[in-house]
Amino acid sequence: MRDVCLGGGNCAFTSYGSGMPVSPDRAAEVPDFVVVDVETACARVSSICQIGIVGFRDGREMFAYETLVDPRDEFAPFNVAIHGITADRVDGEPTFDDIHGIVDAHLRGRVTVAHSLFDKSALAAACGVSGQPVIETEWLDSVRVAKLAWPQLQSHRLNVLARFLGIEHRHHDALSDARAAGMVLVRAIEHTGIDLRGWMTKPPREKVKSPVPAATGPLVGERVAILGEPRDGALARYVAGAGGKVVASVGSTTTMLVIATRQPYGRWVDVSQPYRKASELRSAGRSIVILTEEQLRARLKGAGITG
């Protein structure tokens, strides 16, 4: 960690990269974008109790800023259970009014990324409560980016994306969340070829069409939802080739949920919305089968279907 003056008289306790020494030239570089994440003490979005900011340039982290914040507000048990920050931990820490200048120096006039725009609302509310001007920055929601880059995922929560993309992440720590959200954007740029400015212009979502099911086959009459792959992917084509109709989501008429081998939940697949919905339907007496891709392929191989 080191003290780096950002200009305009504001200084932030900031680290660069992985704590390596930074040359004066490097310290003077302007990030392509910054990422911000906040944790709040209670249901009031102004009650910021931790903030993390990370700057990225050329796809790499160039600085990081993090601090606990005394929100001058109550700490609700629900919020504490999420992030583990308690009132005694922020005793003696700066208020938002104290750090407004630092946050403003990092964000103002730049592209600021947040995973959902909750953080934008929280900063605006904290500015209002503290009597400080709202920070003028250009916002980009990394949830929207992730949904367009990886439409096959059933969830675009930050912890799910981090697991899917292999990003090191400690959920509900403001600095770790900011780093992970920044890496989601970096990976999306690499994956899609859409640069930062392209994401700022809101590229349209391409419509995904399910493959036409074959007229004959062991899955004729089945309505199949797939967890972990797009409706026009290889598994969907395999299902359609066996006569199954691939549907967009699990609903009352769905007869089968297939869990793709490369799905983002790992062994926590039971927390996914499609799995929970299918389980609820089964408990309600609906005829819906839940099976893995391997189980489906073994079943269809026995019926003479390969692929």
Interval 148-178: pLDDT, tens: 999 878 789 999 999 999 999 999 999 999 9
Q: What is the pLDDT of residue 306?
A: 72
pLDDT (tens digit per residue) in 181-193 = 999 999 999 999 9
Domain ranges for the chain? 2-200, 223-302
Q: Which residues are CB-neighbours of 77 under 8 A, at least 6 positions away? A: none
Q: What is the pLDDT of residue 25?
A: 45
Q: What is the pLDDT of residue 2?
A: 31
Q: Which stretch of 6-20, 77-91, 119-133, 188-202 has the lowest confidence by average pLDDT? A: 6-20
Closest CA to 42 of 73, 83, 86: 73
Give residue 60's Cα distance to chain centre: 18
Average the pLDDT over 17-45 and give the result: 71
pLDDT (tens digit per residue) in 49-75 = 999 999 999 999 999 999 999 999 999
Q: Please compute, for residue 115, the number of CA atoms within 13 A of its CA located in the half-sphere on the CB side.
A: 29
Q: What is the mean pLDDT of the chain?
A: 87
What does the block give as tokens for 155? 């969830």
Which residues sit opposite 78 in a β-bridge?
A: none
Give the Cα separation of 221 and 182 in Å (integer).
44
The string of DSSP codes covering 107-134 is HTTSEEEESSTHHHHHHHHHHHHHTPPP
Report percent pLDDT > 90 for the chain: 72
Which band of pLDDT confidence, cut at 50, 70 and 90, is reported for residue 11?
very low
CATH 3.90.550 is held by the domain 223-302: no
pLDDT (tens digit per residue) in 87-128 = 999 999 999 999 999 999 999 999 999 999 899 999 999 999
Q: What is the pLDDT of residue 24?
A: 37
Average the pLDDT over 203-225 and give the result: 87
CA-based end-to-end distance of the chain: 54
Average the pLDDT over 272-281 and give the result: 89
Max CA pair span of the chain: 73
Could you tell me the CATH superfamily of domain 2-200? Ribonuclease H-like superfamily/Ribonuclease H (3.30.420.10)
Q: How long, in residues, is the chain?
A: 307
Q: What is the pLDDT of residue 301?
A: 87
Which band of pLDDT confidence, cut at 50, 70 and 90, is reported for residue 273?
confident
Give the Cα separation of 88 and 73 in Å (integer).
12
Q: What is the pLDDT of residue 265?
A: 65
Q: What is the pLDDT of residue 17?
A: 37
Which residues sit opposite 57 in a β-bridge?
A: 60
